[in-house]
Amino acid sequence: MKYALYLGCTIQAEQFGCEISAREVLPRLGVELVDMEGTSCCGFPAFSSLSTIGWFYLSARNLALAENLGLDILTLCNGCYASFVETKHNLEENADLKGFIQEKLRQEGLEYTGDIRVIHIIELLHDLIGTEKISETVTNPLKGIKLAAHPGCHAIRPSSLGRPDNAENPQKLDHLITALGAETMDYPEKTDCCGSMLATASGTTTLTIAAEKLKAVEGYGFDGLVTTCPFCFQMFDGRQGEINDIIDFIFDTDSEELEVPIFYYTQLLGLAMGLKPEKLGLELNLSPVDALVEKIAGGAK
């Protein structure tokens, strides 16, 4: 199990918790991560909106770099995953588009054939590694903790192009959570969007959409929310403070502030493996995770 690790802009620039915990736990599951040189942005969402061909070029070059290493490419971000799958699909569908992009890539000294598999982190953990193997590595089960799974839009839609999990009834992230000994539950808002792509267009609406999901999760009595996508994590964790600043405007009633601990799955996996919180970038989570981390990490002593 050897993959070219593609981080993407958001993880590489600010979502370090995701990268740290992934680098820490995946090798313990027999996955060898090979860093790629010369990677660039995958083009989503700016280029896909303004210059479709620019978007295909950016995604194709990263795929070419992985092809160059002779490895399948592993992505930790829903946006990048969607970009690569859409690009592969469009280039397969449209021969002269593929020719155009390949010719552009040669100018950068890169060769793209499209003969590469794009692996999503959920697909790697659930389908390729498997929940039994993950449970075997759990020394400190997350007993008595009820977590809401948030796979994120591009991990499940559109089903027409093939996605790691079912569009309407995704269960894989739930299985991965229960594999750590924690509890989970189906809740209606599971397949809802975190709203982050709206940031460029309308600040308040993007926060409202995220707030609605967090409020629902809190309402159902979950102890926290788990995701694998840096965009979603950034919205729920990084901007939970901003949401609370305008909470009365969003829900136009004087409701209490939201206090929902947000985790990357790989962070929780690390804790369940008995690793120290510091080794999993948990100090970087801005949502109120201390009590829960204490409870889990405490169990490890």
Query: Which of 28, 143, 144, 185 is close enough to bind other proteins by CB under 8 A?
Result: 185
Q: Which of 89, 135, 208, 218 is in the footprint of other proteins by CB under 8 A? A: 208
Nearer to other proteins, 60 or 142 (CB): 60
DSSP letters, 130-198, are -HHHHHHT-SS--TT-BEEEE--HHHH--GGG--SS-SSS--HHHHHHHTTT-B----GGGG----GGG
Compose the 241-280 pattern: x for residues touching other proteins by CB under 8 A, - for all others.
----------------------------------------
Nearer residue to other proteins within complex by CB, 206 or 266: 206
Kindly tell me which residue out of 201, 252, 254, 298 binds other proteins, with binding defined by CB under 8 A. Answer: 201
- Hey, CA dihedral for 240, 8, 128, 277, is it positive or negative? negative
Q: Kindly state whether residue 128 participates in binding other proteins, applying the rule CB under 8 A.
A: no
Q: Which is nearer to other proteins, 100 or 274 (CB)?
A: 100
Question: Counting every residue, how long is the chain?
Answer: 301
104 binds other proteins per the rule CB under 8 A = yes
Instruction: Work out which of 285, 292, 297, 299 binds other proteins, going by CB under 8 A.
Output: 285
Out of 158, 248, 249, 257, point to the residue binding other proteins (CB under 8 A). Answer: 158
Segment 283-289 long-range contacts (CB within 8 Å, at least 24 positions apart): 284/16, 284/17, 285/17, 285/237, 285/261, 286/237, 286/238, 286/240, 286/241, 287/236, 287/237, 287/240, 287/259, 287/260, 287/261, 287/262, 288/259, 288/260, 288/261, 289/224, 289/261, 289/262, 289/263
- Name which of residues 21 to 50 contact other proteins (CB under 8 A): 23, 35-41, 43, 45-50
209 lines the binding site for other proteins (CB under 8 A): yes
Question: Residue 1 Cβ, how far from other proteins at the closest point, in Å?
Answer: 21
Q: Return the residues of window 55-74 that contact other proteins according to CB under 8 A.
A: 57-58, 61
